[in-house]
Structure 1
């Protein structure tokens, strides 16, 4: 499996409606603090938009909902991994991405036989409070050795100026949140990301 090098993460279908038509091919819908019926509607809307634009949709956390809505990719953090029914996810034909932040989490993730591994935060991030120090670029290279051919996603504090370093250390994909969603012109910044990652496709 190959991941697009530009991995957009947003928290609503409205963001997906704004940015995916610009040429985004990989997007994660990561919604927090919302009742499940509302999340379901967001997932349905996102799935429709992504299908129209040939974009891979990854649903964060809500694996049961992803199964029910016929999605084909979920991403789980370590806490969600501990409670998720991996057999049910596999039976549904859903592919699985997992977050890792340290060696123990990597071992746990690899034992679950995921379809890709994410490592972060590579740089300091303003998105959320993290109990882990920034991993740095060398950790990407270390993770590459340990995950073998599994796609490896770098996340945390990435911007266009930093992505070449992530790819040079063997990341397959660079995930971005705030560099786009908190930009004064998210559409223009998205186009810049698409152009900047084109040579890594």
Structure 2
């Protein structure tokens, strides 16, 4: 099973963040666009893809698997509800890797049946960014998940800050995702570099 491109995994909502965080050294970035559709959505994804290529970033597109196939995006990330409709055979045939969200043992079993390239567990801590049907999982669940999935890469997400990065890696996460700890930071580029340095020490 191939390793993740990098231990830190910023999740951003606009292309400009791919440019900024990519320039700062992030090499594995998820674009999660929630407020655009049609031509505007496609333009934003293309701009993010251009920035990703410019900086050598492995871009992950959240949800829009058809666009990912058409545009040749590196990865997609899907939630459990997306598994009902996504054509993962077409995704695989296009050479696109994919990660799946999990929140419970049932969801993990279902995710593993699709043979993803990584699984994400969350929220590890409480998160303010979106209403979650599942409560905080805790770092102990990361250790449990890692034992269950073996060599398959595990991503921790939800309520994660720089101060919590090491705990996630020590618990068994191969990658650690965060949103606001990068995009709401007063110095996002500096924060990427802090995360990278800390991740390398873990």
User: What range describes the TM-score normalised by the shorter chain of this pair?
Assistant: over 0.9
Q: How many Å apart are 1:198 and its aligned residue? A: 2.2
Structure 1 alignment gaps of length 5 or more = none
Aligned mates of 2:7, 2:145 — CA distance in 1: 17
Which residue pairs with 2:148 in the alignment? 146
Which residue pairs with 1:2 in the alignment? 3
Residues 107-118 of structure 1 mapped to structure 2, 5 A cutoff: 107-118=109-120
Q: In the alignment, is the contact (CA less than 8 A) between 2:60 and 2:76 conserved in 1?
A: yes
Match of 1:34 among 33, 36, 39: 36
Aligned residues: 200
Structure 2 alignment gaps of length 5 or more = none
Match of 1:74 among 66, 76, 83: 76
Aligned mates of 2:37, 2:46 — CA distance in 1: 15
Structure 1 residue runs of 4 or more that deviate by more than 4 Å after TM superposition: none
Which residue pairs with 2:157 in the alignment? 155
Which residue pairs with 1:23 in the alignment? 25
Aligned mates of 2:114, 2:138 — CA distance in 1: 25
User: TM-score w.r.t. structure 2 length?
Assistant: 0.95
User: TM-score w.r.t. structure 1 length?
Assistant: 0.96
Matched, 1:62 2:58: no
Which residue pairs with 1:13 in the alignment? 15
Aligned mates of 2:104, 2:77 — CA distance in 1: 17
Q: In the alignment, is the contact (CA less than 8 A) between 2:8 and 2:28 conserved in 1?
A: yes
Deviations 1:140-193 (A, max 9, x none): 011011111100000011111111111111100100101111122222222211
